[in-house]
Amino acid sequence: MMFKKQVQSILLGFAIWFCLLVGIGQNPTIAATFTETELISSERMQILPETNLKSGVDSFLTSIPAGYYTIPNVEELKSFLKNHQTVLVDVREASEYRSGHIPNAINIPLRTLSHNLNQIPRDRPVVLYCSSGYRSAMGVMTLHLLNYENVHGFPPSFVAWKTAGEAIASR
């Protein structure tokens, strides 16, 4: 039962992310196809007032504290890595990882994260990064939904690391 609830939470998180990505209220038919398996006629489709949905999402997003589970810059990441037994996870695709990554990072592409939980410890800090911050944010959210309390994102991501002139490893 607990696993089913966790899966539902993850799916809800991705649904919210998708709605924010494509723009809430732009095409209610798209949203409906994700929840209905049969064709939906326009008479049967019930659309929530856009303002209620937007205000609910806005209320949720504004309640998130600034810096929520994030490491804001390269210097703080370096300090975090030095002072903790941190597991650094690159959630980019394998080809991106091979072309260059932060030294000592392991590669677990975001789309395979749930299949590789055995590589993500619960008893040590974990930092996720990608190339722009989007995938690492989704990974942090996913792991928090799976009851990981020790996960942080590095939103400046690999681009900031590289721009700062820090060491880059490749395989």
Q: Are 153 and 29 in contact (CB under 8 A)?
A: no
Comparing 12-16, 59-63, 121-125, 159-163, the range with the smallest average pLDDT is 12-16
Per-residue confidence (pLDDT) for residue 160, from 0 to 100: 96
**How far is the C-alpha of 142 from the C-alpha of 150, rounded, in Å?**
12
Q: For 124-154, how does the pLDDT look when each residue is reduced to its tens digit (9 = 90+)?
A: 999 999 999 999 999 998 998 898 988 999 9
Say which residues have a Cβ less than 8 Å from residue 141's Cβ, sequence separation at least 6: 13, 17
The mean pLDDT value for 35-60 works out to 56
> Can you tell me whether residue 101 is helix, strand or coil?
strand
Q: How confident is the model at residue 34 (pLDDT cuts 50, 70, 90)?
A: very low
Geometric angle at alpha carbon 21, from 156 and 9, rounded to 5°: 90
Q: Are 138 and 164 in contact (CB under 8 A)?
A: no
**How far is the C-alpha of 155 from the C-alpha of 72, rounded, in Å?**
7
Q: How confident is the model at residue 61 (pLDDT cuts 50, 70, 90)?
A: low
Per-residue confidence (pLDDT) for residue 90, from 0 to 100: 98
125: Cα separation from own chain's centroid: 16
Per-residue confidence (pLDDT) for residue 39, from 0 to 100: 45
| CATH of segment(s) 74-163 | 3.40.250.10
Q: Rounded mean pLDDT of the chain? A: 78
Q: Are 148 and 122 in contact (CB under 8 A)?
A: yes
Token pair for residue 85?
A: 């037994």
Where exactly does CATH 3.40.250.10 map onto the chain?
74-163
**How far is the C-alpha of 4 from the C-alpha of 85, rounded, in Å?**
32
Q: For 80-117, how does the pLDDT look when each residue is reduced to its tens digit (9 = 90+)?
A: 898 778 999 999 999 999 999 999 999 999 999 999 99
* Residue bearing the bigger pLDDT, 55 or 49: 55
- The DSSP bridge partners found for residue 101 are 169
**How far is the C-alpha of 138 from the C-alpha of 126, rounded, in Å?**
14
The mean pLDDT value for 9-22 works out to 52
Per-residue confidence (pLDDT) for residue 65, from 0 to 100: 63
